[in-house]
Amino acid sequence: MRFSTCYIPTLKESPSDAEVISHKLLLRAGMMRRLTSGVYIYLPLGLKVIDKISKIVREEMDAAGFQELLMPMVQPADLWKESGRWEHYGKELLRFKDRNGRECCLGPTHEEVITDMVRGEVRSYRQLPVRLYQIQTKFRDEIRPRFGLMRGREFIMKDAYSFDVDETAAEQSYKVMYDAYMRIFRRLGVAFRAVEADNGSIGGSFSHEFMVLADTGEDTVVFCDDCDYAANIERAQIGRPGVKTGRICSSCRNVPTSGVHTVDEVAAYLRVPSAKIVKTLILLADGKAVAALVRGDRELNEAKLKNLLKAQDIKLADAAVVEKLTCAPLGFAGPQGLNLPIYADQELESDTDYIAGGNAVDEHAMHLDLPRDARVTAYADLRNIAPDDPCPHCGGRISLKRGIEVGHVFMLGLKYSEAMHAAFLDEKGQERLMLMGCYGIGVSRIAAAAIEQNHDEHGIVFPPPLAPFDCVLLCLDPNNAEVAAAAETIYDFLRREGMDVLYDDREERPGVKFKDADLLGAPMQLIVGSKSLARRRVEYKDRRNGEKGEIALDDLESECRAWVCRVRDGWEAKA
C-alpha cells in the first residue's frame, strides 16, 4: 500500500480522554475513532489488525472441527424469557420494541438463539455433536465502558457452542476448544495464561479463562510459584479456616469515633490492627438484602458469595437501603442487631473481640463477639485470596498479577437445554437433554491487549502476526528520481516476496515518516535515502529491538528473505 493514497490519520498528541496506552495508541496510529461512548469505528488499519486476528481464530476453529455460521444481532425477547435471562441479565442487555410492539434485544451473546435453532433441527443422537461458531459484533450496555476496545459497548467476539449427547462427549468438546485456544493465543504472539475461572452455580471445574498478562488488566490472576496452579481470583479458594484463639471478650459497647470513616482511619484511631475490624457490607442478592462480613484487611469476593447464595445477580446496596437497614449512613454498618441474613468469612470464626460499625452515626462497636452479639447465618470462604495465603493446591507461595480476559471456555451443562428443552432421542429411543458448552474470544479486545503488552515510548510494537504491515518502506526523498526508483524496485520486490508493505512515498519530512513508522508498529522498517543509496545500500531497523544496519542493494534478495524469516520466526511473546 502506498501511504500517499491511504487513509491513515495519525495524530501527534494523545487524545486526553484515553486512559490506557492501547487506547491512546490505537487513536494516535489512526486505527480507530470513537463514535459514542464505548462504540468505535475501525479505520482501515485497525480493521486490518482485526482481520489478522480473525483469520488465525477462524483457521484454528475450522481445524478443530467447528463450523462457521452467522447469527442475527437482533434477538426476540421471547427466547430470553424462556431461558430466564430476560429477567436476570440486567441493564447490559439493550432492549427495545419494534414497530409492532414486539420486545427485542441486541445480542450480547447467543446461547438462546443457537439453542433455539438446534432444538428445532436435531432429533437424534446420530446428529450430535453439533459444533458451531461465529465471529460477530456484540452489544453490551456496559455500566462503565472504558479503555477503548478493551471494554466497549459494541465489540467483536468469536463465540462458539457445542451440543453433545452426554457429559463425557461434552468434556471432549471442551477439551478440543481448550486446545484450540492454546494454539490460537500462541499464534497471536501474546504472552498469556489459561487460568481456572469461576463457573458460578454450574459447579465442576470446567471453566477456564485465557488471560493476557498486563498491569492494566481488570482481572486479578493468582499464580503459584511452586506448582502450575493459576486461577482467577474470583475462583481461588482458601483452604485454611484459621485456628481458634479461644480468647474471652468483654461486653460489646459503642464508642464515639467522630470523623473517622475508612478501615485504616478507624484502626489508627482505636489503635488496633485492621485485622481486628469487621467490615460489614450490605448487598442485594437477586434483590434481597444480605450482610457479608470480612476482616478489615481483606476484600469480599462477590463471586464466592453469589455462588454460596446461588444468586443470579449480586450488587452493593445503595446508601438509602443501607440507611434503612442499619439506621445509620453508609460506613457505620455492623452485624450486631441486624435483622437480615448475615454471611461471615470463615476467617472471622477463629477470633473474638472485634470492632465493627456501631449502626449509629460516628460510632463504632468495640468488643464484638460474633456468636454472642450477631446472628450469623453461615461462615464460609468469602474473601479474596491474599499474598500471605498458601497455594490452594500445594501450599506453596502465591503471587498475584493483573490480567486481561481475552477468552473464556465454559461447560454449560444443562443450563440452557433444560430451560429451553433442547432434547434428542438416544439409542434406546429415550428423550435426553443435550449437554452444552460455550466458548468466547474477545477479538477486538485482543488488539488492545496485544498493545498493552507490546509498546514503547515511540508507539506500538505489534507481535508480527497482528501487525497491519510486515514492513514499512520509507522513501526519504521521493523527489530524487534515483531514490524514488530504488524505493519502487524494492517495493515491488517485497510484494513479490509475499510481504504486506506500507510504502511511505509521501512528500513529508523524514522526521514525520520515522515517527509514523514507529507509531504504527510494523516489525521492520527499510529506509531508502540518498546518502546510503550512493553507496548502493539501504538502511533497516528492527522495530522490536531498535537494531539498525545496512543491506547492500545487490544482496537485497537474500538479505531480505533472511530478514523476513528472522522477524516472522524469531518472535517470542514477552511476559
Question: Do 417 and 423 meet the contact criterion of CB atoms below 8 Å apart?
Answer: yes
Question: Do 233 and 203 meet the contact criterion of CB atoms below 8 Å apart?
Answer: no
Closer residue to ligand ATP (CB): 138 or 295: 138
Scan residues 44-83 and list those touching ligand ATP (CB under 6 A). Answer: none
Q: Which does 276 bind (CB under 5 to 8 A by kind): ligand ATP, Mg ion, none?
A: none
Does position 408 bind Mg ion by CB under 5 A? yes
Closer residue to ligand ATP (CB): 143 or 575: 143
Question: Do 115 and 422 meet the contact criterion of CB atoms below 8 Å apart?
Answer: yes
Does position 235 bind ligand ATP by CB under 6 A? no
Residue with cell string 469487621: 278
* Binding segment (CB under 6 A) for ligand ATP, from list 381-389, 438-446, 514-522, 565-573: 438-446
Closer residue to ligand ATP (CB): 28 or 445: 445
* Binding segment (CB under 5 A) for Mg ion, from list 26-34, 186-194, 372-380, 401-409: 401-409
Q: Which does 442 bind (CB under 5 to 8 A by kind): Mg ion, ligand ATP, none?
A: ligand ATP
Residues 6+ apart with CB under 8 A from 47: none
Closer residue to Mg ion (CB): 85 or 298: 85
Does position 196 bind ligand ATP by CB under 6 A? no
Q: Give least dist CB 405 to Mg ion, A.
A: 6
Does position 440 bind ligand ATP by CB under 6 A? yes
Residues 6+ apart with CB under 8 A from 253: 365, 366, 367
Closer residue to ligand ATP (CB): 107 or 463: 107
What is the C-alpha to C-alpha distance for residues 535 and 85, in angstroms, rounded to an integer? 70
CA angle 416, 384, 206 (to 5 degrees): 30
What is the C-alpha to C-alpha distance for residues 377 and 381, in angstroms, rounded to an integer? 13
Closer residue to ligand ATP (CB): 221 or 406: 406
What radius of gyration do the chain's Cα atoms show?
29
Q: Give least dist CB 408 to Mg ion, A.
A: 4
Does position 408 bind ligand ATP by CB under 6 A? yes
What is the C-alpha to C-alpha distance for residues 128 and 133, in angstroms, rounded to an integer? 15
Q: Which three cell numbers stand for residue 29?
A: 496510529
Measured from each CB, the residue nearest to ligand ATP is: 442
Q: Give least dist CB 85 to ligand ATP, A.
A: 12
Q: Please, which contacts does 513-519 make with residues 24 or more away whose CB atoms are closer than 8 Å?
A: 513/474, 513/476, 514/474, 515/458, 516/3, 516/8, 516/10, 516/472, 517/472, 517/474, 517/543, 518/458, 518/459, 518/543, 519/10, 519/25, 519/28, 519/29, 519/458, 519/459, 519/460
Closer residue to Mg ion (CB): 383 or 408: 408
Does position 445 bind Mg ion by CB under 5 A? no
Find the binder of ligand ATP among 46, 107, 148, 152 (CB under 6 A): 152
- Which residue in 493, 259, 494 sits closest to 361, CA to CA? 259
Q: Which three cell numbers stand for residue 406?
A: 481475552
Q: Which three cell numbers stand for residue 193?
A: 495464561
* Binding segment (CB under 5 A) for Mg ion, from list 374-382, 390-398, 400-408, 541-549: 400-408
Number of residues that bind Mg ion (CB under 5 A): 1
Does position 208 bind Mg ion by CB under 5 A? no
**Which residues of the shown chain bind Mg ion in the complex (CB under 5 A)?**
408
**Which residues of the shown chain bind ligand ATP in the complex (CB under 6 A)?**
109, 140, 142, 151-152, 155, 157, 405-408, 440, 442, 444-445
